[in-house]
């Protein structure tokens, strides 16, 4: 499938700090693409570079096969975006706010405001002012504003930031609807992997300005492993005992309580006894399937970072 946005060798330097280091990504049309990574990994900088809100030091960005030209405004008309917390007038309603933005951005389509508000589940006739919106309503108005001109691509920076669990589900459903029923391509960033795992088709893991991996979610799910989790009184001692007793045990220390041993295991009983015989308390043993969060931790070498 052709990429609607392609990034090649994107590098961004702030004086002596390398915020993006040779990033290459392919964002396919009609899909939800997740940029995942910890705070400060470089996700926003990638998005801002696509939008011309910051200028890369090196590298190229292609929109629908054409090299990006930051001076060519038409090229950006296929993109709608929400970067950072949406800024709206606090004393105006949802409709009044969008009327202003429609005017500023030259959106003339008659029903654009009703359509956008309807898509995100906000009442276009409500007089409720922005100041009394819930966080979820504010985020939804931000998305409505981003889709006002019916763009093909939506770029949303942490759209579930600060939302309660219900708000997160609402935003997630809106994004799925926009992608599946309105054929929008959505680039979304998040540092909370469990929030994004359920909706993305493709993902890139970003860490310290680099792409650790770019893959389809389906491929990654196929690589999820089963593991046995041991909650113990002393992880350091446990790791030492395991190292001494097993030549090639695939395990990872999660935190100061948990060790995970990968693979379907008939060794559980033996490992349990081994730990206990070495004076380690074993509080809990469970066998589980990996999640995206686990996968990312493994990719970055556990919690050491
Ligand atoms: N204008 C700037 N000058 C200097 N450094 C900057 C500037 N903007 C961003 N950075 C740095 O670049 C790195 C990447 O920032 P970026 O905002 O892209 O990260 P992020 O992955 O989006 O994380 P967050 O969710 O916290 O915004 C960070 O270390 C940040 O401090």
Instruction: Report d(CA 94, CA 134) in Å as an integer.
Output: 12
Residue 78, pLDDT above cutoff 90 = yes
- Across the range 20-48, mean pLDDT stands at 95
Percent of the chain topping pLDDT 90: 70
When the pLDDT of each residue in the chain is averaged and rounded to a whole number, the result is 91
Residue 132, pLDDT above cutoff 90 = yes
Of 171, 199, 222, which one is at a domain's C-terminal end? 222
Residue 264, pLDDT above cutoff 70 = no
Same domain, 124 and 249: no
ipTM score of complex: 0.91
Task: Output the residue whose Cα is nearest ligand 1's atom 28.
Answer: 40
Tally of domains within the chain: 2
Residue 277 lies in a domain: yes
pLDDT of amino acid 302: 57
Which residue out of 44, 81, 193, 206 has the highest number of ligand 1 atoms within 8 Å of its CB and is therefore the one to mutate? 44
Of 169, 195, 222, which one is at a domain's C-terminal end? 222
CATH number for the domain including 249?
3.30.70.2470
pLDDT tens digits, 165-224 = 888 999 999 999 999 999 999 999 998 888 888 899 999 999 999 999 999 999 998 888
Which ligand 1 atom is at minimum distance from the Cα of 41? Answer: 21
Residue 202 lies in a domain: yes
Same domain, 193 and 156: yes
Residue 305, pLDDT above cutoff 50 = no
CA of 20 to the centre of ligand 1 (A): 9
Banded model confidence at residue 72, pLDDT cuts 50, 70, 90: confident
How far CA 288 is from CA of 32, 103, 252, 264, in Å, comes to 27, 53, 14, 10
Residue linked to tokens 């939302």: 163
Task: Output the residue whose Cα is nearest ligand 1's atom 11.
Answer: 19
Same domain, 201 and 254: no
CA of 56 to the centre of ligand 1 (A): 13
Residue 106 lies in a domain: yes
pLDDT of amino acid 1: 61
- Across the range 34-43, mean pLDDT stands at 92
DSSP the chain: --EEEEEEEEEEEETTEEEEEEEEEEEETTSEEEEE--TTSSHHHHHHHHHTSS--SEEEEEETTEEP-TT-GGGGGGEEEE-SS----TTSBHHHHHHHHHHHHT---TTHHHHHHHHTT--TT---BGGG--HHHHHHHHHHHHTTT--SEEEESSTTTT--HHHHHHHHHHHHHHHHHH--EEEEEES-HHHHHTT-SEEEEEETTEEEEEEEHHHHHHH--EEEEEEES-HHHHHHHHHHH-SS--EEE-SSSEEEEES--S-HHHHHHHHHHTT--EEEEEEEE--HHHHHHHHTTGGG-
Which ligand 1 atom is at minimum distance from the Cα of 14? Answer: 4
Instruction: Report d(CA 138, CA 160) in Å as an integer.
Output: 11
- Across the range 255-273, mean pLDDT stands at 88
Same domain, 157 and 251: no
CA of 15 to the centre of ligand 1 (A): 13
Which residue out of 11, 12, 13, 14 has the highest number of ligand 1 atoms within 8 Å of its CB and is therefore the one to mutate? 14
In this structure, the strands spanning 66-67 and 58-63 are antiparallel
Between the ranges 79-88, 228-237, 244-253, where is the mean pLDDT highest?
A: 228-237
Residue 234 lies in a domain: yes
Same domain, 97 and 185: yes
Same domain, 236 and 191: no
Residue 199 lies in a domain: yes
Residues 6 or more apart whose CB falls under 8 angstroms from that of 102 comprise: 108, 112, 113, 148
Task: Output the residue whose Cα is nearest ligand 1's atom 5.
Answer: 14
CA of 202 to the centre of ligand 1 (A): 23
Residue 302 lies in a domain: no
CATH number for the domain including 104?
3.40.50.300
Of 180, 205, 222, which one is at a domain's C-terminal end? 222
How far CA 119 is from CA of 18, 94, 122, in Å, comes to 39, 13, 8
pLDDT of amino acid 304: 37
Task: Output the residue whose Cα is nearest ligand 1's atom 8.
Answer: 45
What residues does ligand 1 touch, defined as CB less than 6 Å away?
A: 14, 17, 19, 37, 39-45, 158, 191
Task: Output the residue whose Cα is nearest ligand 1's atom 6.
Answer: 14
Same domain, 171 and 230: no
Which residue out of 19, 50, 160 has the highest number of ligand 1 atoms within 8 Å of its CB and is therefore the one to mutate? 19
State which residues form the domain around 239. Answer: 226-289
Same domain, 217 and 272: no
- Across the range 146-157, mean pLDDT stands at 95
Task: Output the residue whose Cα is nearest ligand 1's atom 26.
Answer: 39
Residue 301 lies in a domain: no
Same domain, 88 and 164: yes
Same domain, 26 and 58: yes
CA of 45 to the centre of ligand 1 (A): 6
Which ligand 1 atom is at minimum distance from the Cα of 12? Answer: 12
Contact 36, 191 (CB under 8 A): yes
Same domain, 189 and 278: no
Task: Output the residue whose Cα is nearest ligand 1's atom 25.
Answer: 39
Same domain, 7 and 132: yes
Instruction: Report d(CA 105, CA 73) in Å as an integer.
Output: 12
- CB neighbourhood size of 228 (10 A): 20
Residue 253 lies in a domain: yes
Tokens of 55: 């200028």
Write down the pTM of the prediction: 0.84
């Amino acid at each position: 499938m052709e990429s609607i946005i392609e990034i090649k060798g994107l590098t961004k330097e702030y004086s002596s700090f390398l915020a993006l280091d040779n990033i290459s990504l392919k964002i396919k049309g009609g899909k939800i693409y997740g940029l995942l990574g910890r705070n400060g990994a470089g996700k926003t900088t990638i998005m801002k570079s696509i939008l011309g809100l910051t200028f890369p030091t090196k590298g190229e960005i292609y929109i629908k096969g054409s090299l990006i030209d930051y001076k060519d405004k038409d090229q950006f008309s296929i993109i709608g975006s929400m970067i950072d917390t949406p800024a709206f007038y606090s004393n105006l309603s949802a409709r009044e706010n969008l009327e202003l933005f429609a005017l500023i951005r030259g959106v003339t389509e008659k029903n654009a405001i009703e359509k956008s508000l309807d898509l995100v589940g906000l009442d276009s006739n409500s007089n409720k002012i922005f100041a009394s919106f819930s966080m979820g309503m504010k985020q939804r108005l931000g998305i409505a504003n981003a889709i006002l001109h019916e763009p093909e691509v939506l770029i949303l920076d942490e759209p579930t930031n600060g939302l309660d669990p219900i708000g997160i589900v609402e935003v997630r459903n809106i994004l799925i609807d926009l992608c599946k029923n309105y054929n929008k391509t959505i680039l979304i960033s998040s540092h909370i992997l469990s929030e994004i795992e359920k909706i993305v088709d493709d993902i890139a893991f970003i860490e310290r300005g680099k792409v650790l991996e770019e893959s389809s979610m389906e491929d990654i799910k196929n690589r999820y492993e089963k593991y046995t989790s041991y909650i113990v009184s002393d992880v350091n001692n446990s790791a030492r005992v395991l190292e001494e007793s097993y030549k090639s045990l695939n395990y990872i220390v999660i935190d100061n309580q948990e060790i995970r041993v990968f693979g379907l295991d008939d060794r559980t009983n033996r490992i349990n006894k081994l730990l206990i015989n070495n004076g380690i308390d074993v509080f809990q043993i469970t066998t589980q399937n990996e999640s995206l969060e686990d996968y990312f931790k493994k990719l970055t070498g556990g919690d050491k970072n």
